[in-house]
Structure formats: C-alpha cells, structure tokens
Amino acid sequence: MRYVLAFLALVFAVECHAQQEPLRLIQTMALPGVVEGKFDHLAVDIKGNRLFLAARVNQTIEVFDLATGKRIHSISGFGTPHAEYYVPGSNELLVAVGDDGTCKFLRGDTFELIKSVKISVGADSIVYDPGSKYLYIVNGGKDIDNNEFSLVSVIDATKRENLGETLETSEWRARSWRRWPSSAQAHDCL
C-alpha cells in the first residue's frame, strides 16, 4: 500500500507558536514499502531535523530526515506504538505503547530504552506540557472494548514515573486535547 505523507508547517507552528504565518505545504514524502497499513501520530525534532512516525502495523517508530525526506532509522522491539513526543531539552523520545500499556523513554540519539513506565492498557494520544514536564496519555476506551470511558495517565517526564490516572468520559475527551499553556490549566482540566 502506498502512502504519501504531507508534512505541513503545522508541526513547526506547534513549537514556534509566535509566528503568524498561515499554514502552507512545505514538503511531501512518499512512503512506499516503508510503512505498511495504518500509521498513527507524528512527532518532530526541529533542531535535529527529524520526523518520528508511529507505524502501528509494523510495530515500529520510523525516523525520517526532514532535509532529504528519507527514512534514516526504524525503532522496534516494544509492541504497538500509538503516539510519540520528542523532548528537546532532555533529548528523549517518549512513546505510548498501546498493547502492553507502557510509556517508553528512549534516548534521542541512539534510541536505546532508558525506562519503561507502566500505565493502563490501550495507550493512545499524548500531550506534553513543557511547563510542568508532565506527559498526559489517554488510554483505555474503545481500544480495549470500553466505550464508556478512558483514563488519562499523568507521567512526570523528569522523574520518569506514573503520577496516577484520572477518569475521562467521552464528553470530556473532546475538550481535553489541546496544548495547555501552563501546568496549572492542565491540572484544572484534570
């Protein structure tokens, strides 16, 4: 199956929110033979000029060089990744793994496992708050045949530990996923 990934300036807008430039297409990358089936979330390392893609069917995180548009590495060996976030300050890649219910902390240069933090199964979407250095991971829900609610795991990315989980109803989920400007607002939402 052939996929074409349209990489938008939106990725850069998240990190460089001060720019007032409208979204525009800056690059496309063909992915034939690289990613089979569906892929999930993306993350970017702006300084390192890398794009991370969660390839669910492959059970890998694919790493691309944004300058060349070529795959430069494939990270495997940890189950089905659903989302990832690159933390520039610590040079770590945080990966939500759905089937075993973990958040993997990987070195950003070698992709070696630093630590695996246990959370509930069905890990999916993630949001990182740079102010508190907390990672919020939605888990549960329809991925584990539970349409009534999901959980949000709160991970301290500095200490690499699970601080706990909070219940999320489907009504709340629609409001919950935005980038919070401060950790105080994130805690108010939870």
How confident is the prediction for the chain on average, in pLDDT? 78
Q: Per-residue pLDDT tens for 37-55?
A: 777 789 999 999 999 999 8
Q: What domains sit in the chain, N to C, each tagged with a CATH number?
A: 36-189 (2.130.10.10)
For residues 7 and 122, give the distance between their C-alpha atoms in angstroms, rounded to a whole number. Answer: 27
**Taking CA 9 as the corner, what is the angle to CA 38 and CA 39, rounded to the nearest 5 degrees?**
5
Helix (H) or strand (E) holding 189: helix 183-189
- 3 state SS of 141: helix
Q: Per-residue pLDDT tens for 101-156?
A: 899 999 999 999 999 999 988 888 899 999 999 999 988 766 566 556 678 899 99
pTM of the model: 0.75
Q: Per-residue pLDDT tens for 52-84?
A: 999 888 899 999 999 998 999 999 998 889 899
